[in-house]
Structure 1
């Protein structure tokens, strides 16, 4: 009964206008006074931030902060696919006939996640990572590999929470929420970076000017408040690290595995 009530309340509060109201406040100068309290509440390492707390103009300005140079070294090993964000792994594994299996007890179809994109056939038996960003985390999104941006798509949707409750109690939130998808083509294949909006995320923003060619670790976009990245690789082009599993924490630039030449046999 209690869980059903929470689910109903979440349905009612997951309208875009709620996030817009929250976003307007977070971008206002009035929100500046909340920055020290917010940083203390979530134990954010403010010494890593590019600027001093008092130099941020709003809570949103602090939330989308850049870090001091060198705070997130990018793995340089050949063919490395790196985490595009600071996050906790909430799901990872081989995509099986178009299904991402057992993400917090639910299965997701690639077709639904990618909004029936013609490109989805390239990912039906690839690999996936679901990476959850908490309010504590650095919220800028970087390229997981080098390559060219060959397509981007905005998919309208809801703004359900993508935390533990949202992923376990709501129906397939990753493919029902608003999403911004970037497809990156490299020498080995293609990767899809699916940026999933969430409750109180007023928007997902690309950096400006929007790059066409990316180096591994280049800044790509950012979340205004916390959310999730789903990272996909094409069929037969990725070998994951053997020591990473669901529940582990990764930092932006950390190696997730290696891009490999597809077996043509």
Structure 2
């Protein structure tokens, strides 16, 4: 690692504590922070025409960050065998889960027991599939269900607030299993899927949209991030294929098919 990278890594270690995140989070929820919204929109080239309500009605930067989109803007793929993207994001990890229950992301191996901790590891995940989806500051930050099904388990794991961008994944030690995580396991038509929502640097807050909802139709809103985040999907070993052409660097949107169980509908 180069000297400037080591310095940046050291700085991130110093500033990744929950107290700092809590302070920044409190500021982003104040009315004063709303004056940063035009700067945020310009900096990240956010399409204001996609917003569910006018820009001037957002009362804080945080309220804008967890914004909803206009109805119908993210159509949900209706193919019965489709796994759809739960978020607007960029693919930063994709592949098979190894025999020894590890996934490989940006040069680092993560054991599932590290990633899930006290959550049970489904033995059928061995030789299953994983997908890592990174949400940039410009992305829509609400999380939708990738399948229709019922929640089988939930777990909240407190942790650090390291960045989950390309630098963080490559240069920080195992950020996906050290950051705060909100874990949801769902039973669906083709087995079990685990949705790991990973917090990120500075404001690491992940919340369920409706903590009491148990049954979901594919595309329903599940949770949302407050600033910076990644979603990891874990799927069982079964007849499943990722969508043709999906790979590292691919951009995906909520509701579009990212894989299929069995044969693609219509084949």
TM score, norm. by length of structure 2: 0.94
Asked if the contact 1:241–1:257 (Cα under 8 Å) also holds between the matched residues in 2, the reply is yes
Within 5 Å, give how 1:249-264 maps onto structure 2.
249-260=251-262
Q: Report if the CA contact (8 A) 1:122-1:234 is conserved.
A: yes
Map of 1:44 onto structure 2: 46
Q: Hey, what's the Cα distance between the residues in 2 that align with 1:122 and 1:177?
A: 25
**Counterpart position of 1:139:** 141
Q: Is the 8 A contact 1:197 1:227 kept in 2?
A: yes
Paired residue for 1:100? 103
Deviation at 1:10, TM superposition (A): 0.7
1:112 equivalent to 2:114? Answer yes
Corresponding residue for 1:90? 92
Match of 1:25 in 2: 27
Counterpart in 1 of 2:224? Answer: 222
Give CA-to-partner distance per residue, 1:6-54, whole Å, 9 cap, x none.
1111111110111111110111111011111101110011110101111
Q: Tell whether the 8 Å contact from 2:34 to 2:59 is kept in structure 1 after alignment.
A: yes
Of residues 216-225 and 227-236 in structure 1, the stretch that sits farther from structure 2 once superposed is 227-236
Partner SS for 1:22:
helix
Pairing of 1:227-238 with structure 2 (within 5 A): 227-238=229-240
Is 1:207 aligned with 2:228?
no
Query: Where do 5+ consecutive residues of structure 1 fail to align?
Result: none
Q: For 1:87-106, what per-residue CA distance to the aligned partner results, in whole angstroms no more than 9, with x for missing partners?
A: 000010011111112x1111
Give distance in 2, aligned partners of 1:202 and 1:151.
22
Paired residue secondary structure (1:70)? coil
For residues 187 and 85 of structure 1, what CA distance do their matches in structure 2 show? Answer: 21
CA RMSD of aligned residues (A): 1.3
Is the contact between residue 111 and residue 120 of structure 1 (CA under 8 Å) also seen in structure 2? no
Alignment of 1:240-251 (within 5 A): 240-251=242-253
Structure 1, 160-169 or 114-123: larger mean CA deviation: 114-123
Output the CA distance in 1 between the equivalents of 2:166 and 2:226.
19
- Aligned counterpart in structure 1 of residue 36 of structure 2, from 34, 38, 43: 34
Q: Is the 8 A contact 2:135 2:229 kept in 1?
A: yes
1:34 and 1:5 map into 2 onto residues whose CA distance is 29
| Superposed displacement of residue 259, structure 1 | 2.5
Question: How many Å separate the matches in 1 of 2:32 and 2:231?
Answer: 30
How far 1:128 sits from its partner (Å)? 0.4
Counterpart mapping for 1:158-237 below 5 A: 158-237=160-239
Aligned length: 260
